[in-house]
Structure 1
């Protein structure tokens, strides 16, 4: 599960990597949490056939089109890549509304102990080469009975790779830049073909380390959240 992540690269660097047309100017965010607005990258086909990538903001919390009342539906921040092709909640979006979620890092919690003595230690994960990541995502525009509309999105997850499994059994599905076009192209690339891109990253793609518990509070932000935690031998 991916429940928090960070987007801290300069807007110019992200625009160069994801090749969207807009020129958004946004501050670094070190602790992005569910229900908050998140950037997503989509692909559209123009009337003349030209394909163009676009930058949007969407609520992190996917809502399928059939939902009538937000209050009656659970918050979906992640979807399992193994079931998105066939599951009713995601089937249409997997066919027609695939997106990329730009990120520089994501966070997971190592669970130690059990019952009342359980302890959860946060870890930061980022690419070993320092580049931003394109997380596989789905988006949907939810329409309310009053005519209001909300763009919503979720991150797709897959099984952890051999390295990250020591911390958590799931990880975001990371789309490599060479595969951005295939993932986003819902006209030419069928859902089953796109699903083949949803696999664990190679063991050497990510680096990770323990960080402090301040990340647990969604309202906390800033680069200090990503400082490695130094533990003594007695901890």
Structure 2
């Protein structure tokens, strides 16, 4: 799964890395400890160009009666997303990039959970494959997202049995291209992706609380 991550890059670095035409990212803030329920930076393609903006992490399907369902839908299993009512329609044309530069996972050992910070080996910024939707009620509308996951690769298996899908750099634009795909085609695209080389190190339990958002979260344990 993926339940916490970081985004520490400067705004201009993100604009340049993803070749965005906009001058700025409204309300951009870096974060050492991004958690479910928070606003997260995502990139979509609106049919004319790529746009970066914020979505709430925790998908609320457009047909949901209660927005609280979002707290149960921070992740979507890529193996079955093309079949599930909550995600099937979104796999066709509501795909997004969720921008990050590391994520946290907790390794179980001796009855305890050791938090680890995990990064890609060859690049600073990367993107998770995500899905988004718009939910409306009588008095508001909410734009939300979920992160797609898969079985852990050989590196991650020692830490956790699931991991977020990190898109290869040359596949990011293909994932959010505006042309409609069938859910099965989107599923096959994800299944065909190569695995990113990762590194990890232990961090302290300071990161366990989503209220903590400072450099202590990423400090290596000695």
Equivalent residue number for residue 41 of structure 1 = 43
Equivalent residue number for residue 10 of structure 2 = 10
CA separation in 2, counterparts of 1:73 and 1:130?
31
Aligned ranges 1:148-167 → 2 under 5 Å = 148-167=140-159
CA separation in 2, counterparts of 1:31 and 1:111?
20
CA separation in 1, counterparts of 2:155 and 2:194?
10
Which stretch has the larger CA shift, 177-186 or 161-170?
177-186
> Of 111, 119, 128, which residue of structure 1 is paired with 2:112?
119
- Provide, for residues 67-118 of structure 1, a one-character-per-residue CA deviation record: whole Å limited to 9, x for no partner: 01224665310000001111101011111200000000000000124xxxx2
Alpha-carbon distance, 1:193 to partner: 2.7
Alpha-carbon distance, 1:19 to partner: 2.3
Aligned residues: 219
**Can you give the 5+ residue segments of structure 2 that lack an aligned partner in the other structure?**
none
Equivalent residue number for residue 29 of structure 1 = 31
CA separation in 2, counterparts of 1:216 and 1:140?
28
Q: 1:42 to 1:213 in 2, by over 3 A?
A: same
> Of 122, 127, 136, which residue of structure 2 is paired with 1:134?
127
1:54 aligns with 2:51: yes
Runs of 4+ in 1 over 6 A off after TM superposition: none
Equivalent residue number for residue 61 of structure 2 = 64
CA separation in 2, counterparts of 1:16 and 1:74?
32
Q: SS at 1:125's partner residue?
A: strand
Length-normalised TM-score, structure 2: 0.92
**Can you give the 5+ residue segments of structure 1 that lack an aligned partner in the other structure?**
46-50, 231-235
1:196 aligns with 2:198: no
